[in-house]
Amino acid sequence: MIPATAPHSVPIHADDGIRLATDHYRSSIREEPLGTVLIRTPYGRSQYTGQAGAWIRAGYDVVVQDVRGRYGSEGEWRPYVIEGRDGAETAEKLAALDLLRGPLILAGASYDAHCAVEAARVLELELERVPASTACQTSKVIPFAIVAMVPALGLHETARHPDGTPRLRDRIGWWHQHGFGSTSKEPLHPAELHYRTTQAKIRGRNLALHGLFRDDEYGPGASDTWRQLWDAPSLDLHALYSKLSTPLLMISGRDDFFAAEALALAQVWGSAVPGTVVQTLWGPWGHGLTRDLDDETTAALREQGGLMARIKDFLATANGNDPAPNADNGAGTAGLARPPVLHWQHHDLAGSWGWAPCTIDSLQHQ
């Protein structure tokens, strides 16, 4: 059996002929995997062997793909523009190649989570509109579930706080490093990032829009792309996602700068479709998830199976199974269905960390 660190390259082409570099990790744990996890990323698929390994150990096949225009994939890199269509077409092509073993799980963190939710939207809503005369040409792949961690939802949502004020420092850093070209740059030195942010605040909108990312430094079209980021309208989350029925697990935390947007997504997802499974995991972390935790908290979470244990419970629930009918599931709810919101927190009276059921309205974030 091929080890998890040696994926097969898969020939995936979008419908317009663009080749999308794709790696397929076949489960070495189970002869028949529990499903296939699709992760699409702008950060370089070769960096995902560890994440793929975690899914493989949980019993899944894994597919990791460079998004259009990044690393090994052809085409033009345009953040937040075409991920839904490319993701849906990738799922269709994988099905045609018999590489979707078991149900399809769309997963990812940050921008990768955007790729996941948009692919689900296109697969579930747009492909249902395929005329009956062409149905035989379409495999009608419908995702089984989505795992969206600290999601970055769109241009406007990442560029501005919920009150409309700009996230200048964060966006200057991200777009410098990842926003232009086929590969990521080294991050800005903290002093340079501070200088650019300060200058943008002092000199106002004109510098922020026109002077930070010049075409001669970042490539043709960079200045226009940067300006479009700040002119982008906010997403209508209800119109986009309320009619979806694919089960969603949303993972975010108190210190994530996109926490408010993540909670809004969880509240609207499937809200027009009774019975849609939506669960939320919340913790004392930021955009780095468990990498943001101290050693004590990390060890306590690991003792309870880490986030993957909760993800597996969610996938069992999505499949119509009670994940732990006769055991304590880590939230003090033995014998009960998994609560829709779980908060990883320190129980002062017990002197230990654990998962506690709560409500979205009770969650605090920066």
Q: Is 320 left (phi over 0), alpha (psi -120 to 50) or beta?
A: left
Encoded tokens for 332: 């003090």
Q: Is pLDDT at 133 greater than 80 in this prediction?
A: no
Domain range list for the chain: 8-155+236-362, 163-231
CATH 3.40.50.1820 correct for 8-155+236-362: yes
Q: What is the pLDDT of residues 56-95, one digit of tens each?
A: 999 999 999 999 999 999 999 999 999 999 999 999 999 9
DSSP secondary structure letters along 341-360: EEEEEEETTTTEEEEEE--G
Winning range, highest mean pLDDT, from 122-136, 246-260, 289-303, 334-348: 246-260
Give the confidence band of 139 by pLDDT, cuts at 50, 70, 90: low
| Predicted TM-score (pTM) of this structure | 0.90
**What is the spatial distance between Cα 88 and Cα 332, in angstroms, rounded to a whole number?**
39
| Confidence class for position 18, pLDDT limits 50, 70, 90 | very high
Q: Rounded to the nearest 5 degrees, what angle is found at the Cα of 26, between the Cα atoms of 313 and 251? A: 30
pLDDT band at 201 (very low <50, low <70, confident <90, very high): confident
CA distance 111 to 121: 16
Q: What is the pLDDT of residue 274?
A: 93
222 CA to centre of own chain: 25
pLDDT of residue 69: 98
Report, as an integer, the average pLDDT of 106-130.
89
Q: What's residue 322's pLDDT?
A: 53
Q: Which residue has the higher pLDDT, 218 or 336?
A: 218
Contact (Cβ atoms closer than 8 angstroms) between residue 142 and residue 124: yes
Q: Which residues lie below 8 Å from residue 363, measured CB to CB, with a gap of 6+?
A: 254, 263, 282, 341, 343
